[in-house]
Chains A and B, each alone.
Chain A
Amino acid sequence: MTVISVPGSATDTVAPTTRRRRKRNVLLIVGLTLFGLLVLVAILAPVLATHDPIQQDLAHARLAPGSPGHLLGTDELGRDVFSRLLYGARVDLRVGVLAVVSPFIIGTVLGLISGWFGGWLDTLIMRIVDVVIAFPFFVLVIALVFALGAGTGSIYLAITMVGWVAYCRIVRGEVLVAKEQEYSLAARASGLPTWRILFRHLLPNVVLQAIVYSMSDIVLTILAIVTLGYLGLGVPPPTPDWGSMIQDGQQFLLTQWYLATIPGLAVVITGLALALIADGLVERFDRT
């Protein structure tokens, strides 16, 4: 019994029209634009800021937004909120993005190794991963920042120590699948040295998911930094940072509610931009 299959594509799947293709990139473009704007603003903070962010001016304290010379008002020490917001962006965005780099690299490499070699090495690394993810992210970061001592360096280190696990799992998962693909088998059969197979052939194919995740990881990291700032464990004062601004503002919630609200909105917008980029990347490179 032979099967007849008359070639010819199914008519029930409609070929994507140009309109649909264009729609796929909207998220990515909007996200990148928004994030780009934020980065630009942060970089240009010294130019755009109207005042010195740490300059106190008790005579002009507690001004409402829209007051002359102070776009977003002043806080209880007379510091200009707008300028602090801009400089805070510098700190939070910079640390947020940079802090993701080492977890990304370490996690990806370990994921590659773990997935490719398997065996006891894989089991060991996965056990370590299990232990690290047993701790809630923030709790462990906060505890580590405490143990490492105050300062921005501790923040980077703490996030690296906790953050690599997500990348490791993601990349390992991708590697396990890619391992069985034909290009992997071909590479092995051709006798290439292992490191070359891993980095030259496997890596480009498994790294996409990690990159998509890194977008939400940046958000998570910024949230962590802002939370640390709120708890007083973040970047040392007097550097402005959105988290400490919110903490300062909480006491004046009844009268100057904007002091606590505005920096939070800044974080939300940043998160929105990155979420759009992440979703946009998924849509753009969707394999299905």
Chain B
Amino acid sequence: MTPLLEVHDLHVEIPVPHGHLHAVRGVSLTVDAGESIGIVGESGSGKSITLRALLGLLPQPAQVTKGSIILDGVDVTGLPERRRTKMLTDAMSMVFQDSLTALNPVMRVGDQIAEVPRRRLSMSKSAAHGRAVELMDQVGIPEPERRFRAYPHQLSGGMRQRVCIAIALSAEPRLILADEPTTALDVTIQAQVLAVIDGLRRGRQLGVVLVSHDLAVISQTCSRIYVMYAGRVIESGSIRQLISLARHPYTFALLRAVPDPDLPVHRLLTIPGQPPDLTAVPAGCSFAPRCALAEPACREVDPALMAVPEEPDHGSACIRLETASQWLDWTPVDLPDLLEKT
């Protein structure tokens, strides 16, 4: 089965006053129909920019400098901009983090949902209206007819995020890109919104790319995870694989940083240091300066993603990936047993 979306070696650069910021440095990923993949990483890892690049929504000075995007087996990278944008926006839609600012404050939410059916799908005003109400119902907005006429500021955060999802669906996409869709929401609402997205995925066989800095959110709904650091994917695999044995020190540290409420906390873990300055990326593995397991070889070459032996779908960009099972012994703090939770 051809994957819905394939990204090969994507590079994005942003010119800054004193050089170039290499925000995305060779990211590759695939999404199948009906599959939900997650991209996890801290701020500045390049995860949001990757998403934006997919829809051609990069902020003004940023540019895709290398790599290809393949939609349904068709390489759209080389196409003229207009055609490329049309194909990408036809197939994919995006849900943004802050629903309040993502919605036009002076336009009724119903009209915003109906906008794509009217403008791009050539529906009549009443047909588009009906479509919007239908969508609102599907994302779980009660009394959709009444809520149609509401303005964004009149709705709660959870409602607004559902409106954003409805907008994303209005284009009849085959893939939804969600950029931190739950970050601005309360924990209970988070669960609801994720459930809506997941329900739609299963019901319509949509592809979902979920970006978050919250590993817990990702682990709830995504079958495959890409861990990004400093503009690169440093580990990819299924959530089970990562949790049972993370093969990159960064992922390993991420997982360990979550305190288990059931176990006594010995020390609240942080990873010392800061991500590298992406205008002047040093040679070698970008995580090496902060890595407790770094050896001299790590500072020479930046490793590519390598397959983990016996786990063909599990990749890691660490030259010491084979020693992962011993990492636990090499570090002084107890690892909470996350496996119990999955």
Contact = CB atoms under 8 A, between A and B. Distances in A.
A and B touch in the complex (CB under 8 A): yes
A11 interface: yes
A12 B279 CA distance: 9
A48 B17 CA distance: 46
Contacts of A20: 17
B44 A11 contact: yes
A6 interface: yes
Contacts of A255: none
Nearest to A23: B17
Contact of B213 (A2, A4, A11, A17): A4
Given A5-B213, A17-B18, A11 B190 contact: no
Nearest to B230: A11
Contacts of A12: 14, 21, 23, 43-44, 278
Contacts of B270: 6-7
B278 A11 contact: yes
Nearest to B19: A14
Given A4-B214, A6-B42, A11 B275 contact: yes
Interface string B255-290: 001110100000000110111111100000000000
Given A1-B217, A4-B215, A10 B43 contact: yes
Nearest to B216: A1
Contacts of B257: 4, 6
Nearest to A15: B277
Nearest to B279: A14
B16 interface: yes
B44 A2 contact: no
A189 interface: no
B254 A10 contact: no
A12 B59 CA distance: 13
A8 B21 contact: no
Given A1-B187, A1-B190, A8 B278 contact: no
B277 A11 contact: yes
B271 to A, nearest CB: 6
Nearest to A16: B17
B254 A8 contact: no
A6 B277 contact: no
B314 to A, nearest CB: 21
B280 to A, nearest CB: 11
In the complex, which range does the number of interface residues on chain B fall in?
A: 20 to 34
A12 B213 CA distance: 16
A4 B258 contact: yes
B217 A7 contact: no
In the complex, which range does the number of interface residues on chain A fall in?
A: 10 to 19
A9 interface: yes
Interface string B1-39: 000000000000010111001010000000000000000
Nearest to B215: A4
A147 interface: no
Contacts of A134: none
A4 B273 contact: no
Contacts of A9: 44, 274-275
A222 B187 CA distance: 58
B216 A4 contact: yes
A26 to B, nearest CB: 15
Interface string B201-226: 00000000000011111000000000
A139 interface: no
A143 interface: no
Given A12-B44, A20-B17, A6 B279 contact: no
Contacts of B230: 11
Contacts of A3: 213-214, 216
A8 B287 CA distance: 12
A5 B42 contact: yes
A77 to B, nearest CB: 57
Given A10-B44, A12-B21, A12-B44, A2 B275 contact: no
A10 B277 CA distance: 9
B59 to A, nearest CB: 11
A8 B273 contact: yes
Among A3, A6, A12, A14, chain B packs the most CB atoms within 10 A around the CB of: A6
B131 to A, nearest CB: 34
Among A4, A7, A12, A17, chain B packs the most CB atoms within 10 A around the CB of: A4
B217 A8 contact: no
A10 B273 CA distance: 12
A19 B18 CA distance: 10
Interface in A1-47: 1-12, 14, 17, 19-20
Contact of A14 (B16, B190, B214, B259): B16
Given A10-B43, A12-B14, 10 more contacts: A1-B190, A3-B214, A4-B214, A4-B215, A4-B216, A6-B270, A7-B270, A9-B275, A11-B230, A14-B21
Instruction: In the A-B complex, list the 3 residue pairs whose CB atoms are closest, starting with the nearest.
Output: A10-B44, A11-B44, A10-B43
Interface of A: 1-12, 14, 17, 19-20
Interface of B: 14, 16-18, 21, 23, 42-44, 187, 190, 213-217, 230, 253-254, 257-259, 261, 270-271, 273-279
29 contacts: A1-B187, A1-B190, A1-B214, A1-B216, A1-B217, A2-B216, A2-B258, A4-B215, A4-B257, A5-B213, A6-B42, A6-B213, A6-B253, A6-B254, A6-B270, A8-B42, A8-B44, A8-B271, A8-B275, A9-B275, A10-B43, A10-B44, A11-B275, A12-B278, A14-B16, A14-B277, A17-B17, A17-B18, A19-B17
